[in-house]
Amino acid sequence: MRPLDGIKVLELGQLIAGPFATKILAEFGAEVIKIEPPLSGDPLRKWRLLHEGTSVWWASQSRNKKSVTVNLRSPEGQGIIRRLVKEVDILVENFRPGALESWGLDEDTLKSINPALIMVRISGYGQTGPYRDRPGFGVVGEAMAGFRHLSGEPGRPPVRVGISIGDSLAALHAVIGSLMALRHREVQQGGGQVVDVALYESVFNMMESLVAEYAHFGEVRQPAGSSLPGITPSNAYLCADGKYALIAGNGDSIFKRLMLLIGRPDMAEDPAFAHNDGRVAEAEYIDGVIAQWAAQHSLDEVLQALHEHRVPAGRVYDVADIFKDPHYQAREMLIQGELEDGTAVTLPGILPKLSKTPGGVERKAPTLGQDTDEVLLSLGFDEATLHQLRAQGVI
C-alpha cells in the first residue's frame, strides 16, 4: 500500500510545474491521467537531450502516469474532460488563468459535476490580482520574487540557478496544497476546494528574512556571490589544487572547532567571535583567515580534516560526481528505469522517503496516447465512438 492509493488525479498541465506535481503524487500511489494534445503531446517530450526523438527527461517526469490524448479546444474534447472530472479526486492544471473558463471547464461547472473535486491551479501570478492575465514562466516568477536579484556576484548581472527552480517550487507548493485539501475533504468532510498556486509566490515563500529586514531596517539585501550575508563563516574557499571547498562554520561551537583546526586558538577563544553577530562584524577578516588555510591544502585534504573535526563542508558536485558518490547509491537516489523503447536508463530516486509507505515506480513513462482507449472505454465510450473521435482529431 502507498499513501495515495485510490486517489485519482487528472493532469491538464504541461512542461514542468503541473506535471512535476503530479509526478510526485503518482510516485506515492495516485492514479494520474495525463491529458496531452493529439499528435504533438506535451512539449516536454522534445525538451533538452532526445533519445529516438523523445526527451530522456520525459522518462522521469512522466513515470507512473497514463497518457490520454484529448483536444481541449474542441467541444467533444471538453465533454471528455467533464466526464473524467466525475471520476477524479484532484485536477491539476497550469494554463494561464481564463483558459479553462474559455473551454467551458470553469470552477463552477466542474464543481457542479463533482462537488468533492480539488482543483489545483498553477499559474504565473495566481487566479486573482492585476497581473493574473499575464503569461508567466518560472524565470519571471524568480525575478519578481526577488530571487534573481540575489543571484550572482556583486556588481554583475543576475544569473539563473541553472534549473527551472521557480516551476519546481510551485510544483511542491501544489503538492502541499493538494494534500491539505484532501485532508480537509476527508477528515473534516469539507468538500472540494481550489488550491491557487502562483509561481512568483512559491519562490517568494523561500526568501527567508528578506521582507522583515526591509520593513524594519530598510535593508535591501544584495547579491553576495558564494557567501551567506549575515551568517559567518559560510563560503566557498579555493584550495591548492584549484578546487573549491564549501565550508559552513557558522555555528558557535563549530566555529571554535574550525579555528582550532586551522591553528587559530586565539580566534576560537576570542569573546568577540563567540556568537554570530560578532563574527558577522568581522566577516571579511574571518573569510580571509580560512581562505589562507584552505589555499595551502588540496580539496581532499581540506575535506578530510574538516570531517574529522565535525565541521560541515563539502565539494561542489557535478553530475559525474553524483554518479560516483556512494551515499547517493546507499540512499537509492539513483535508480534504474526505462525509456519509451525499453532502453535502460538511470533516473532520480523517489522523495520524500517514507518508512512504512514508500513511493515507487510501477510503470515507465507512457508513449503519446498510450492509455487513451483504456481510459475512455472505462468511461463508457464504445469502439465506434473512439474511432469517430480519432478521425475528427478529438483524441
Say yes or no: 275 and 345 in one domain: no
For 184-224, give the DSSP string: HHHHS-----EEEEEHHHHHHTT-TTHHHHHHHH-------
Q: Note whether 354 and 71 are within 8 A (CB).
A: no
Query: Is residue 200, in this structure, part of any structural domain at all?
Result: yes
pLDDT less than 50: residues of the chain: none
pTM reported for the whole predicted model: 0.94
Q: What is the pLDDT of residue 225?
A: 86
- Which residue in 5, 108, 133, 167 is the catalytic one? 167
Query: Is residue 325, in this structure, part of any structural domain at all?
Result: no
Say yes or no: 171 and 101 in one domain: yes
Q: What is the pLDDT of residue 160?
A: 86
Say yes or no: 29 and 169 in one domain: yes
Query: Is residue 293, in this structure, part of any structural domain at all?
Result: yes
| CATH number for position 260 | 3.30.1540.10
Say yes or no: 309 and 335 in one domain: no
Say yes or no: 302 and 345 in one domain: no
Q: What is the pLDDT of residue 32?
A: 98
Say yes or no: 306 and 158 in one domain: no
Say yes or no: 33 and 175 in one domain: yes
Q: Which residues constitute the domain of residue 154? A: 8-205+330-392
Say yes or no: 298 and 348 in one domain: no
Say yes or no: 293 and 361 in one domain: no
Total tally of structural domains belonging to the chain? 2
Q: Note whether 233 and 250 are within 8 A (CB).
A: yes
C-alpha cell at 165: 527552480
Identify which of 83, 81, 108 has the alpha carbon closest to the alpha carbon of residue 93: 81
Judge whether 167 counts as a catalytic residue: yes
Q: What is the pLDDT of residue 182?
A: 97
Q: How confident is the model over 164-209, as pLDDT tens digits?
A: 999 999 999 999 999 999 999 999 888 999 999 999 999 999 999 9
